[in-house]
Amino acid sequence: ILNVEQSPQSLHVQEGDSTNFTCSFPSSNFYALHWYRWETAKSPEALFVMTLNGDEKKKGRISATLNTKEGYSYLYIKGSQPEDSATYLCAPNQAGTALIFGKGTTLSVSS
Amino acid sequence: NAGVMQNPRHLVRRRGQEARLRCSPMKGHSHVYWYRQLPEEGLKFMVYLQKENIIDESGMPKERFSAEFPKEGPSILRIQQVVRGDSAAYFCASSPLEGRGYGYTFGSGTRLTVV
């Protein structure tokens, strides 16, 4: 089972602040890295799937980068809004295996 | 296009009873994954199935838990002789191919309470 670390565990910011989270994973046998957003009382929702070293993905104010050689990915949120409040999960996998999720970073944005 | 359907949404069982959780993947998805969320924990992988095959069950407890994904019908996660520690939210996800370029689509989960 992969060891996936996410930091910080939780984060509280003010509306308009920009923020970023870290996901660390074993770099050996890397296949893909997924980011999910999980709002309270809902299901996890896919944000990005990243496969290549140096990948950068963007969706609106949210973006992510990937470094497979050193085993980390960053998720950035620019100009946080209250609706960004959620738990953000990262999940790497190796070929032929299911995603292994980190415990997540819980973001709370105050207006 | 219906998403991943899980039922029931809530299930209450007495200790010692059996729990059956169902998951119908999205149309066109042939890979199914089960995860468990325990209180104060994240999503823990349990089992990965394709039609009629268990690909990886390394996250399943060795006793009382089983899973299947038959040729016809939904995937079933079965917990025999439930105990209080089995109380959790169980999520199913599906993908069209193994998860390299494809994100998983999650169901709404089944919340199991053992009394």
Q: Say how far residue A93 (Cα) sits from the centre of its chain.
A: 14
Give me the residue label for tokens 């996660």.
B77
- Alpha-carbon distance A96 to B115, whole Å? 38
Among the listed residues A23, A44, A41, the one whose alpha carbon sits nearest the alpha carbon of residue A33: A23
| Nearest chain A alpha carbon to B100 | A32
Digit-coded pLDDT (tens) for B63-89: 999 999 999 999 999 999 999 999 999
Which residue positions in chain A have pLDDT lower than 70?
1
| A3 → chain B, closest CA residue | B44
Q: Is the pLDDT of residue B57 over 90?
A: yes
Mean pLDDT of B30-58: 92
pLDDT of residue A9: 95
State the pLDDT at residue A2: 75
- Characterise B52 by phi-psi region: left (phi > 0), alpha (psi -120 to 50), beta (else): left
State residue B102's pLDDT score.
Answer: 83
Question: Which of A1, A95, A101 is nearest residue B43 as measured by Cβ atoms?
Answer: A101
Over residues B14-28, the pLDDT tens digits come to 999 999 999 999 998
Polymer length in residues for chain A: 111
Q: Can you tell me the mean pLDDT for B83-106?
A: 88
Contacting residues for B107 by C-beta, under 8 A, at least 6 apart: A43, B3, B4, B5, B6, B23, B91, B92, B93
With a CB cutoff of 8 Å and minimum separation 6, the contacts of B73 are none
Whole-number pLDDT of residue B64: 98
CA distances to A109, B14, B81, B88 from B84, rounded to whole Å, are 35, 9, 10, 9
Burial B19-40 (b: 16+ CB within 10 A, else e): bebbbbbbeebebbbbbbbeee
CB-CB under 8 Å, B42 with A104: yes
Query: Is residue A82 classed as helix, strand or coil in its secondary structure?
Result: helix
pLDDT higher than 70, residue B100: no
Task: Please judge whether A31 and B100 are an interchain contact, meaning their C-beta atoms are less than 8 angstroms apart.
Answer: yes
Side by side, the strands of the sheet bearing A32-38 are A10-14, A105-110, A86-93, A32-38, A45-50
Cis peptide preceding B8, ω within 30 of 0: yes
Q: Are the C-beta atoms of A9 and A24 separated by less than 8 Å?
A: no
Q: How far is A20 from chain B (nearest CA, A)?
A: 20
